[in-house]
Structure 1
């Protein structure tokens, strides 16, 4: 299975990239995945040009193709002004601009880094709505890591729980779901089944 990791960290080294790598490793503990990392910092110029011209450069085109072909996605952004970074949003604007269905049904693990725990609600107030709009399936556990979380108790457990959830959603179902994997039934199908009773 192909796991694509999108990291919007700007600095080198980057705590955003560190969190992205740790999440990818957590998924790898629960499923056999091939990991591809997309560093948005390296694509900044092509992202800006694509938004003004409507055409992706070769590196951006490859990144968008990777996201389109992913069996699962980890999306990690630093927090700027209590939300995701402009670079992060611009990338996903470009992805949906080239293919509005690129993320439809794709399992996504959302994560963010910030200097203080006060911005942890970015997961629920910014990232989840963005990926819901793109019709992705966002895993229940998002991971926010403030500066004080690195090396602190609890982060490793959140990473493992989120990784396990994404791994479960990435597994293909052949003829039926495994006993430990919840079945996601679209609301329309649930409603139709109730009406038939």
Structure 2
């Protein structure tokens, strides 16, 4: 199973910290799975211009092909102006409309305060659903106060990230099993 974590901003470190924690938990619980982190601040991504994702070159092509080859995505996003950052939205724009079909997508959001906790429900989940992703039902929302010097200090947040990692893998396995049963019904 291939699991890709995405830190969806070119600024800050909290989102990456949270995504890294979830990915480390996947590695710990499921050491045979292929786990990759994409931190958008480490790549030079061009703006979407409507081409097919495989027609891009360089970092853009590498990131898009990594996402498209994944079985599951753990997408982390900071909250900027009560929304997702443009760098993450651009990734969604670069992908095809059904870019998340047959993929499980788990979400992590960081924000300065609890005032933005509905951003995921109102903005991010509709995008993932539109792109045909299978959402992990719960997401992890982390506030500024839950971090200290680039570390997560809230035990409840740690527990929720561990659970998110486990739920992501279990949901991929469940969907794969359902597809196998469905495929076995066909004679060809």
Question: For this structure pair, what is the TM-score category when the shorter chain's length is used for normalisation?
Answer: 0.7 to 0.9
> Does 2:78 correspond to 1:114?
no
Q: How many residue pairs were aligned?
A: 172
CA distance in 1, matches of 2:98, 2:125: 17
Q: What corresponds to 2:19 in structure 1? A: 20
SS in 2 for 1:9: coil
CA deviation vs aligned residue, 1:69-111 (integer Å, no higher than 9, x gap): 1011111111111111111011111012xxx332112001011
> Does 2:29 correspond to 1:30?
yes
Answer yes or no: is the 8 Å Cα contact 1:40–1:91 preserved in 2: no
Pick one of 156, 163, 166 that aligns with 2:165: 163
Q: TM-score, normalized by length of structure 1?
A: 0.78
Structure with larger Rg: 1
CA distance in 1, matches of 2:165, 2:50: 37
Q: Which segments of 5 or more consecutive residues in structure 2 lack a partner in the other structure?
A: 148-152, 183-188
Q: What corresponds to 1:83 in structure 2? A: 83
Q: TM-score, normalized by length of structure 2?
A: 0.81
Answer yes or no: is the 8 Å Cα contact 1:30–1:167 preserved in 2: no
Q: What corresponds to 1:153 in structure 2? A: 155
CA deviation vs aligned residue, 1:51-71 (integer Å, no higher than 9, x gap): 247352221111111111101
Q: What corresponds to 1:43 in structure 2? A: 43
CA positional deviation for 1:173: 7.0
Q: What corresponds to 2:150 in structure 1? A: none
CA distance in 2, matches of 1:47, 1:121: 29
CA deviation vs aligned residue, 1:142-161 (integer Å, no higher than 9, x gap): 01111112312310111111
